[in-house]
């Protein structure tokens, strides 16, 4: 009986914790780095702030809504996280990521879209991967490469991210995915 009373709540909490952790660290817009390109700042900025609703936000001390700031300043008390997040947004601008997609829909999307990365040995900056969704030319190459006719593959395309996390980079020199993120962030923040 004790195992039942202890096991079920432990299992439920573990499932919720895994879901929350997964959704704060996986998203099609987040680059993936191997050991040659990863550094602390890139890792810290490769997280997503999410809103899980009043109950889960309360249960996790809003750490899911302020996850980017948590990675940038891990010793920051949670009761200053909202204030710090608002203060850091104008500084990191297009590198701040927020997703308010409902939990089940976000789980489905991230699970279906973040499944495959392909190394690009011809790239000068090896070790950086982006999720690219429904890109027709890549899709066609994958169909030929894997000899499958009807299976849709999601792929991450390696891109040059030398300036990705350099906030001094000129807007004209950003990668196309980053430029789109920057434009939407500037509209939302009225910058």
- Number of neighbours of residue 96 by Cβ within 10 angstroms: 21
Assign 8 a pLDDT band (cuts: 50, 70, 90): very high
Q: How confident is the model over 124-135, as pLDDT tens digits?
A: 656 666 554 443
| pTM score of the predicted model | 0.60
Q: What is the rounded CA–CA span in Å between residue 111 and residue 56?
A: 21
Q: How confident is the model over 37-60, as pLDDT tens digits?
A: 788 888 888 899 999 888 888 888
What phi and psi values does residue 32 have, to the nearest 5 degrees?
Answer: -120, 135
Residues 55-82: what's their mean pLDDT?
88
């Amino acid at each position: 009986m004790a195992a039942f009373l202890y096991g079920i709540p432990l299992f439920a909490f573990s499932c919720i914790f895994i879901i929350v952790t997964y959704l704060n660290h996986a998203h099609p817009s987040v680059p993936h780095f191997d050991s040659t390109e990863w550094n602390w700042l890139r890792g810290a900025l490769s997280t997503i702030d999410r809103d899980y609703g009043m109950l889960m936000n309360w249960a996790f001390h809003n750490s899911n809504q302020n996850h980017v700031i948590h990675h940038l300043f891990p010793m920051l008390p949670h009761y200053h996280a909202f204030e710090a997040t608002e203060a850091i947004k104008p500084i990191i601008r297009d590198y701040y990521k927020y997703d308010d997609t409902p939990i089940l829909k976000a789980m489905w999307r991230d699970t279906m879209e973040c499944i495959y990365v392909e190394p690009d040995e011809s790239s000068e900056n090896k070790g950086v991967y982006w999720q690219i969704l429904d890109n027709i030319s890549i899709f066609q190459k994958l169909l030929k490469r894997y000899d499958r006719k009807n299976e849709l593959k999601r792929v991450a395309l390696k891109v040059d991210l030398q300036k990705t996390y350099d906030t001094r980079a000129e807007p004209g020199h950003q990668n196309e995915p980053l430029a789109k993120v920057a434009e939407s962030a500037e509209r939302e923040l009225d910058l």
